[in-house]
Structure formats: C-alpha cells, structure tokens
Chain A
Amino acid sequence: MAQVSVRDLDISFGALKVLQKLNVTADDGEFLVLLGPSGCGKSTLLNAIAGLLDINGGQIFIGGKNVTWEEPKDRGIGMVFQSYALYPQMSVEKNLSFGLQVAGVKRDEIAARVARASEILQIQPLLKRKPANLSGGQRQRVAIGRALVRDVDVFLFDEPLSNLDAKLRSDLRVEIKRLHQRLKNTMIYVTHDQIEAMTLADRIAIMRDGVIQQLADPHTIYNKPVNLFVAGFIGSPTMNFLDGKLSGSGFALGDTSVTLNGYEFSSSPAVETEAVLGVRPEHIFVGGDAEKMPFRVQSEIDLVEPMGSETVGWSKVGGQSIKFRTSSDIHLATGQKITLGFDPARGSVFDTASGKRL
C-alpha cells in the first residue's frame, strides 16, 4: 500500500528556512493537493518527496518504507513537471520507454507497458513524433505517460497544467481526475490554482510560508476556513470581510448588528473581541430571496460587474464595502435600492488579532 508520509521535515536553502517540522500524510489512493501562493514551499515539499532535493531533517515514508536516503528511482514514484521536461531528441515512444530501458526491463514488457499507457492517454498516433512537433496538451499527456509506464504507486504532479491555455487546462484537468478514478494511485499534486485544487482533490493542504494552514477536504476548506488567509485564498470572487466586534450573541457592524444564531463557535471568545465576519459573495441574496434570510439590510448598488453567467454587484453594509453574486437574469443598476440578506450561520467569524476562526 502506498501511503506517503512526511515527518518533521526541515529544509533550508542557506539561512532561509523553507520548511520547518512539516508533517503531512497522503493516504493510499488519495488525491492530495498542495495549494498555495508562489514561494510557499509546496514545490519544495514535492521535490523532497521525489528525492530530488536534499533535506536537512526529518523522514519521508512511501508505502511504509523509509525512503529518506533513497534515490528518486527507488522510491516508487512517477513525476510530471510543469515544463513537461520531455527529452527533445527522442521520439514520444523513446521518451516513454527510456526509464524502463535504463532499468533493464525486458523488451516485450516495455512494449506492453508503452502500449497500455498510450492507450490510456490516447497518444498512440503520436508515438513516432518528436516533442517539438506536439502541442502543449499533447506534450503534457506524454509527460503523464512517462510516469504511467513506470507502474508506480505514487504520482507526483508539479503544476502540470500551468503552462497550458485555459481551455486545455480544464480539459486535461478532467482527464487527470478520470485517470485517478481509473488507476486509484496515490497522487500528490502541486498547484496555485484553486479551481484545480477544489475539483481534483480528496484533500487540500493549503500552505503559506512553509506552513500547512489547513488540511481538509475541499468542502470543509471552502465552508469552514480555519483562518483569514485560507478564507481569502479560496473562492472567486473573494470572501467579504467585515470588521466589527462580538457583542453577546451578535456581531456589531457599524450601526447595525448581525445576530449569530446558529453559528458554531469553535471556541468561546470573550465579549467585545475585535472580530472579522467573513461572508461568501454567493451566500448573499438580493430582493425576494433576501427576505427569507435571518439577516437583512437595506442598501444601494455602487457598481455592477456582469460576467455573463452571473453578475457581481457591489454595495455597502454598515459602511463597509460588500460584493455579492447573483444570477445574470436579475437586473441590477447602479444606484438602485435593494435588500441584501444572508445567513450568518454559513459565514465565518475570525479573531482580528490572530486571524484564527472563532
């Protein structure tokens, strides 16, 4: 079984400590996504798991075996890189079989594995071509194939879709998800794209400055972010953050007060704590739908952003700017008086000082 487990990992480049005492485990067959802004250490972590980077402390286990000192080839991993990293002078077929030839696999075994991989990825017509004669999407498929032929238990993806255009990216994203459903391998996938993370992952590890902020399934990450960073990083348009104070069972917001009935506090904060109420734009309703919501407020539209499938409107609540998402069928005009409503129980309350969820 191929569980990947990283224990107390330390990595530093000179004086710069990139990762410190980092612990994370990807279960057998799990699709784990490492998500974070650039420079958060996610690629460093992946390279360390692959054995392409010297670590300063800690251990790495793959399939129950301590591989901390093993060479990449002995770790039972296949890796896909952002820049494809296909060997330019070799045909697609040679690219796929190179690793197997080096490992001394028998010729008919190589042919069988290449045939199987190219069938799964539908690259049979490309086998005789050189990488230079392939499109970006085809190249990345070959790169995935190179990991596939190795018959390994763990796949590592380092931003595999970042070099592709938007359409190809969403196509290949679906293909990777299918591949995972079919092969049921353990996959660890690095990206800075939250859509990729949300759509592909069984669990997401959101990283910042070398520290995992939250490790949970996409639903939890989206609905119950543990801190302001996670709340702001996930979701587009981003979550609304309203500054205020906790007051009894409510949240004082300028001249209005939001009752927090039904909100599950993870701790019992002191009254009068400075806090931030986070509400997702898609959880705010206008007009008739707003009437059913526990919290309602009269306001005026400042700005309208039509996006085709939906419309983002900007307004104010308690003197603070707030954006909301509605169907594009609802007509909104700047200056229009509207009723906004949301359910505070679906929101998130954070401590202003620590940024942590309350």
Chain B
Amino acid sequence: MTATTMDTAVRTAEEPWGARPKRVTAGRVGLYAFLIISAIFFLIPVYVMVITSLKAMPEVLSSNILSLPQHPTVQPWIDAWLHACTGGDCSGLHPGFFNSVKITVPAVIVSIGISSLTGYALSFWNYRGAGFFFGLLVFGAFVPYQVVIYPIILGLRTVHLFSTLGGIIVVHTIFGMPVLVLLFRNFYAGLPIELFKASRVDGSNFWQTFFYIMLPMSVPITVVALILQVTGIWNDFLFGVIFAGRPNWPMTVQLQNIVHTTQGVPSYDINMAATIEAAAVPLIIYFVSGRWFVRGIAAGAVKG
C-alpha cells in the first residue's frame, strides 16, 4: 500500500482539504436578485423604445406597449432620418446628425489636444505658478454652467463667434478642459520622472519630448478622454441650442424639435426611432471601446 492511497483512505469528508467550497448564502441570493431587478428596470425603457420604433402608428395605438410588433417595419426609422418635421422644415434628423459630427469631431480633437499638452506642461515642467494654475483649472470643474452662460454669450459676441460653429467648438473645449487636464496631469504625474530626464539628456525639447515620448505613451488615457468628450459633446443640448446658431443646431436640438412638433396624434413610432438614432453614436463608441475605457481608468487609478 502506497502513501498516496493511504492518504485518500484516511481523509474524511468533514476535514478541510484543497479549495474552499463555494456556498450559496442568503446574501448572495439577495445580491443577484437586486442586480437582475435593476437590470430589468433600466432595460425596459430601451425595450419599449426599440419595439415601438418598429411598429406602424395604427399598431402603436392599438397594441399593448410591451407587446412585440405584429408587422415589423423600418419605415419610422427612415421617416425619422429623412422626413420628420421640425416646424415647417421636413427633412428629418439627418442635417442634425451632420451638424453634430461637425461640432463633435473638431471639439473633441481640440479639447483633447490642448488638455494633454496642458497636463504634460503642468506635470513635468515645474514652472512658477503651475500649482496655482492647476488649482484654478480644477476649480473650473465645480462652476455651474448656467451661471457663466450669459457672460460667455457676451464674450463670444464681442469676438464675433456667437452663433457660429467656431463658437460652439470653443465653448466645448473650455468646458472640457478642467476634467481633461486633471485626467492627463494625473496620468503624466504617474509616469516615471526618469523618462522625462532621459529625454532631456538626449536633447529633446519641450515639443519633442511631448510628441515623441509622452503622447505615444498616453493611448489609454486618451481613449478615456475620447469617450468622455464624444459622449458629452454629442449628448449636449444646452450649449448647442445657445451657442451653435440655428443652421448648426446639433442632433439633440433637432430631436427635441421633432418630438415637440405635433399635428394631431404624436408620431410615437418616429419619435422613438429618432431618439435611438440620436443616441446611437455614444452607445456604439462605448461598446466598441468600453474595454479600453476601463483599462485607461484603471491605469490612471493605479499610477495617479
């Protein structure tokens, strides 16, 4: 008889051995019940939106709000995109979509570019007043938007940017900066200072160090900034309606106009389709890059 078989024979069921068994406790059950109920609670509106947008108007009015469409159709989606009316203009949501693109793309690029550069300067180039300047910027994150809207209108009007595409881009850049600079500064502060010293010994200047050394290392935090900014700017309504000017109104403003322009019965099917179309871009961005988002936030948390 070998030692191994003897061990097996002697071991009793009660004796702890190997990995600890996982037991189902009341706490676990409660936790999962809560998670599942929360998930259903938040998913029901999405479900209603999707199925309503796939029904024709007569069916919307006659059927139960939760029942699946009997005769599925994508006509509401097409109508919302091309034919929905805002006031007298019946060209649908698509001009708003392209306006949103025209606002979001430059605003995201400009705000991230300026913020990463500012964060880099604040963390590595220890110039006079850097701490004060950074404190001022972070303070900006706590200023309520509504308070400064009117002063900004006056300022933009003075430089002839009010009600222009350039104006709305400037506004988004300014309001994005506090959080983005904080993000980038903390990320750079977490990088080893020796990298910066090595690049100085190698003779690279302020810009070369930024573009060749620091920027290529900032991919994770740039993805975080990208998601924050795309989502924030795309979903923005207030700044868009105030600063962009009527020809540049973004999708959100147009959506609001479509939903509120009614003759007779509200076109619930078209409204739902239009809402989903307007929300699609941030949703797609999140699903495509969510993995990067979590990774970037984690990198910031560990190193910052």
Residues of A that sit less than 8 Å from B by CB: 47, 50-52, 71-73, 77-79, 81-89, 98-99, 102-103, 146, 150
Contacts and interface: CB of A to CB of B under 8 A. Distances in A.
B204 A81 contact: no
B201 interface: yes
Interface of B: 192, 194-195, 197-204, 208, 212-213, 216-217
B202 A81 contact: no
Contacts of B213: 87
Contact of B201 (A52, A84, A86, A89): A52
A146 B198 contact: yes
Given A87-B213, A89-B216, A89-B217, A98 B202 contact: yes
B194 A99 contact: no
Q: For the complex, would chain A's binding face be called helix, strand, loop or mixed by DSSP majority?
A: loop
A79 B217 contact: no
Given A89-B216, A89-B217, A103 B203 contact: yes
Contacts of B208: 102
Contact of A146 (B192, B197, B202, B212): B202
Contact of B203 (A83, A85, A88, A102): A102
21 contacts: A47-B197, A52-B197, A52-B200, A52-B201, A71-B203, A73-B201, A78-B201, A79-B197, A79-B198, A81-B194, A81-B197, A85-B195, A85-B198, A87-B198, A87-B213, A89-B216, A99-B203, A102-B203, A102-B204, A102-B212, A103-B203
Contact of A50 (B199, B201, B212): B201
Nearest to B219: A89
Contacts of B194: 81-85
Contacts of B217: 88-89
B218 to A, nearest CB: 10
Contacts of B195: 85, 87
A271 to B, nearest CB: 55
Nearest to B213: A87
A99 B199 CA distance: 8
Contacts of B192: 83, 85
B201 A72 contact: yes
B201 A99 contact: yes
A8 to B, nearest CB: 24
**Among A82, A85, A103, A146, residue most surrounded by chain B Cβ atoms (within 10 Å):** A85
Contacts of A86: 198
A131 to B, nearest CB: 11
**Among A51, A89, A150, residue most surrounded by chain B Cβ atoms (within 10 Å):** A89
A83 B213 CA distance: 16
A79 B192 CA distance: 15
10 smallest beta-carbon distances between A and B, as pairs: A99-B202, A73-B203, A85-B194, A85-B198, A81-B194, A89-B216, A102-B204, A72-B201, A79-B201, A72-B200
Given A89-B216, A102-B208, A81 B200 contact: no
Contacts of A87: 195, 198-199, 212-213
A98 B198 CA distance: 11
A98 B199 CA distance: 9
Given A73-B200, A102-B212, 20 more contacts: A71-B203, A72-B197, A72-B201, A77-B201, A81-B197, A83-B194, A85-B194, A85-B198, A87-B195, A87-B198, A87-B199, A88-B217, A98-B199, A99-B201, A99-B202, A99-B203, A99-B204, A102-B202, A146-B202, A150-B202
Contacts of A52: 197, 200-201
A98 B213 CA distance: 10
A81 B195 CA distance: 9
Nearest to B198: A85
B69 to A, nearest CB: 51
B195 to A, nearest CB: 5
Contacts of A150: 202
A87 B200 CA distance: 12
Given A81-B194, A81-B197, A83-B194, A73 B202 contact: yes
A232 B232 CA distance: 63
Contacts of B198: 79, 81, 85-87, 146
A245 to B, nearest CB: 51
A50 B202 CA distance: 11
**Among B200, B202, B212, B216, residue most surrounded by chain A Cβ atoms (within 10 Å):** B202
A103 B213 CA distance: 15
Contacts of A84: 194
Nearest to A73: B203
